[in-house]
């Protein structure tokens, strides 16, 4: 079953604009991760936020986590055509295993030049 | 360091056949996980291996099996292929079972006709 659910499913913006994607999850977590996937290829890890963190930055990426609402958001600032990809949130299933991730269905981002 | 490699990259098989996919993790990584990605079900966890032991298994039928070798390389096998097994199969590695960040390979695109 899917833990994370991303919103929106698809997003189309112009280069230079900001893109915001949201993720909701169902159970308690110790961390939440965001990944990017280009055109059905492998996933690339973008950022990890731990349950005791509220906000984290990495370059043009900003992630927030609200554990009371079981939700996270990913903000990409000053977007570029190269940011066109699908973005997924993922949470560990738990039980001491971190290699067992539950992924959402993803947000497909299209950045037009 | 070289990234995660998966072979073959593309595969076409006939219903009823069996297939073996291979994954070589990043040097030094001991944990390998496999995921199936389809348009309908999204990314779903198949198995996780650590030091040649299967730590977790996803909700897939027994036709799906895997193993890990002493050099951390991993294989997964699907027997009696069905049309619904057509998917992108992704392998991911991490430094240890307690490390959160997963490094994904480019995937093997399996088409069952």
Is the confidence at residue B83, as pLDDT, over 50?
yes
pLDDT in tens, A12-23: 999 999 999 999
Q: Tell me which residue of A28, A37, A87, A89 sits closest to A64, measured CA to CA.
A: A89
pLDDT surpassing 80 at residue A79 = yes
- pLDDT of A1 reads 39
Predicted local distance difference test score (pLDDT) of residue B1:
72
Collapsing DSSP to helix, strand or coil, B3 comes out as coil
Q: Flag whether residue A33 sits within 8 Å of chain B, measured between CB atoms.
A: yes
Which residues in chain B are contacts of A41 at CB distance < 8 A? 106-107
Q: Do B100 and A43 touch (CB under 8 A)?
A: no
Q: What is the pLDDT of residues A25-48, one digit of tens each?
A: 988 888 999 999 998 788 999 999
CB of B88 within 8 Å of a chain A CB? The answer is yes
Which two three-digit tokens encode residue A86? Answer: 């699908």
Residue B38 sits at the chain A interface (C-beta within 8 Å): no
């Amino acid at each position: 079953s899917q833990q994370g659910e991303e919103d929106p499913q698809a997003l189309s913006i112009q280069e230079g604009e900001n893109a915001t994607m949201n993720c909701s999850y169902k159970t308690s977590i110790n961390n939440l991760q965001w990944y990017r996937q280009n055109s059905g290829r492998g996933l690339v890890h973008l950022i990890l936020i731990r349950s005791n963190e509220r906000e984290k930055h990495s370059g043009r990426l900003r992630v927030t986590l609200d554990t009371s609402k079981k939700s996270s958001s990913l903000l990409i600032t000053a977007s570029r055509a190269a940011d066109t990809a699908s973005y997924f949130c993922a949470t560990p299933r738990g039980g001491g295993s971190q290699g067992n991730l539950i992924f959402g269905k993803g947000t497909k981002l299209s950045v037009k030049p | 360091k070289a990234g995660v490699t998966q072979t073959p990259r593309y595969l076409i098989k006939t219903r009823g056949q069996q297939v073996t996919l291979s994954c070589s993790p990043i040097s030094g990584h001991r944990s390998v996980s496999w995921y199936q990605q389809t348009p309908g079900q999204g990314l779903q966890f198949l198995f996780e291996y650590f030091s040649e032991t299967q730590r977790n298994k996803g909700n897939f039928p027994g036709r799906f099996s895997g193993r890990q070798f002493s050099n951390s390389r991993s294989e997964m096998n699907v027997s009696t292929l069905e049309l619904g097994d057509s998917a992108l199969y992704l392998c991911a590695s991490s430094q240890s079972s307690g490390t959160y960040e997963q490094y994904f390979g480019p995937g093997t695109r399996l088409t069952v006709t």
